[in-house]
Amino acid sequence: MRERRQYLSLDYIRFLAAFAVMAYHYGHHSWHAPEGAFGIRAAIGAPVRFEALGPWTSLGFLGVEVFFLISGFVIALSAEGRSAFEFFRARAVRLLPAYWSFVLLCLFVTLAYVEGHNSEIIERFARSIVMFPQGPWLDGIYWTLIVEIIFYIFIFTLLLANTFNRIESAAFTWSIICFVLLSVALATRLVGATPPALISLAAFVDSYASRPLLISTGPFFALGVAVYGLVRRGATPWRLAFAAVAAAGGGIAVFFTSGSLGGVGVWALATGGTIWLIFFEAGRAVRPVAPGLARFARVIGLAAYPLYLVHNIIGAWVLGRLITFGWTPYPALIGAAAFSIGLSLAFAAFVEPGLQRNLRRGIDGAHTRVQTFLATVSRQR
């Protein structure tokens, strides 16, 4: 037996969020996405429609917003007490091995389902492998990784400047800016005829450009940081105001992406449930948990990231091949989902740990060499 890891339930929520996104892509986006040489429809190849699943899966993309909320909380929590280098190493080791592995696999799948377009495939691969902020990439879902990295840079900057203790005030300030911009854009959208500058602002907020700039995505991370402050430092009026402003900004952002109050309601329920679980676990005493159960929860949580990376193009290609082999659409969908989940679990349990160890050793070795070089230069002066 060993002590129970705090916030264990977040491992399950991560996986459920990734599953919700997969359900959205398979059950809704697979037959609503625009046609073209690239993308989920092209990866499937065979025409397929899951109309019965549409009403149940059309809002599954909101799992991304839940991911961002959890990142705001967990990344702030994990950065506490770390140096800038330690934070950089931890994030690189967590993010890059799975990402690079599945970008390479996605390249092979893209070569299999896209005929011609070799120069465009190479360009998309180059953009993907270096996480270039602007697409097109091999898989459109990579945009979320860009957004995550921008948030990491924010945390890294605070650590580098020895101002991590100001994370709440910095995130609160940013959440106010986002709330104002989103509110003005929403009012512009609802009112209709307005000055051209406001029309341009509304269009910007609703565009991809606002995502990596943490305008339409920032409130979710900020809400996670607000929860971090409430859990770690206690409730105060301004912290509650911080959480309220971030939540309001997030609600407006969801309205823009979902186009309905129903989408906002679903997001509010998912977000509220996640925050409740965080506070519930924070308020419980640490207690022993069976090692097998703890490892299972850990693997489930770690598998969420590979599942997110593998399902959209790679899993969709498997879905199309199963249909080509004679499977009917719904069994093929279940088969593709099982393939994506199984591959993700296997990667998280057996492959990723070794890749992470090697990358960690490489980063530590490079860091030691740089420190030695700088010390040598300093002595020569």
Both tokens assigned to 326: 């004679």
Q: Are 269 and 315 in contact (CB under 8 A)?
A: no
Q: Residue 57 to residues 273, 317, 350: CA-CA distances in angstroms?
A: 19, 20, 31
CA dihedral 137, 142, 143, 147 (to 10 degrees): -140
Helix (H, G, I), strand (E, B) or coil at 199: helix
What type of residue is 19?
Answer: F
At 2, the pLDDT band (50, 70, 90 cuts) reads very low
Percentage of residues of the chain with pLDDT beyond 70: 96
Nearest to 131 by CA among 143, 119, 140: 143
SS3 content of the chain, % helix, strand, coil (to 5): 80, 0, 20
The stretch 32-48 carries a mean pLDDT of 93
Give tens-digit pLDDT for 158-185: 999 999 999 999 999 999 999 999 999 9
Residue 105's nearest CA partner among 270, 296, 326, 313 is 313
Token couple for 288: 């022993």
Domain segments of the chain as ranges: 2-380
Q: Which string of DSSP letters, residue by residue, matches 43-74? A: HH-S----TTTHHHHTTGGGHHHHHHHHHHHH
**pLDDT greater than 50 at residue 121:** yes
Query: In 17-166, where do the E strands start and end?
Result: none
| DSSP secondary structure string for all residues of 235-297 | --HHHHHHHHHHHHHHHHHHHHHH-SHHHHHHHHHHHHHHHHHHHHHHTSPP-EE-HHHHHHH
What's the burial of 321, exposed, middle or buried (CB within 10 Å: 0-12/13-18/19+)?
buried
pTM for the model = 0.95
Average pLDDT over residues 218-227: 98
Q: Name the pLDDT band for 375 (thresholds 50, 70, 90).
A: confident
Tokens of 22: 């997969």
Average pLDDT, the chain: 94
| Omega of the bond leading into 196 within 30 degrees of 0 (cis) | no
3-state secondary structure of 2: strand
Dist CA 56 CA 28 (whole Å): 9
- Residue pointed to by tokens 């950089």: 88
Residue 286 binned pLDDT confidence (cut-offs 50, 70, 90): low
Which DSSP state fits 308? H
Residue-level pLDDT at 3:
41
Residue 305 and residue 42: Cα distance in Å, rounded?
A: 23
Q: How many CB atoms lie within 10 A of CB 357?
A: 12
- Dihedral angle, C-alpha 335, 336, 338, 343, nearest 10 °: 140
- Strand partners of residue 320: none
What count of other Cβ atoms lies within 10 Å of the Cβ of residue 279?
12
Rounded to the nearest angstrom, the gap between the alpha carbon of residue 324 and the centroid of all alpha carbons in its chain is 32
Confidence at 291, pLDDT banded by 50, 70, 90: confident
Q: Does the pLDDT at position 340 exceed 80?
A: yes
The structure tokens listed for 112 are 């299999």
Q: Report the distance separating Cα 234 and Cα 115, nearest Å.
A: 57
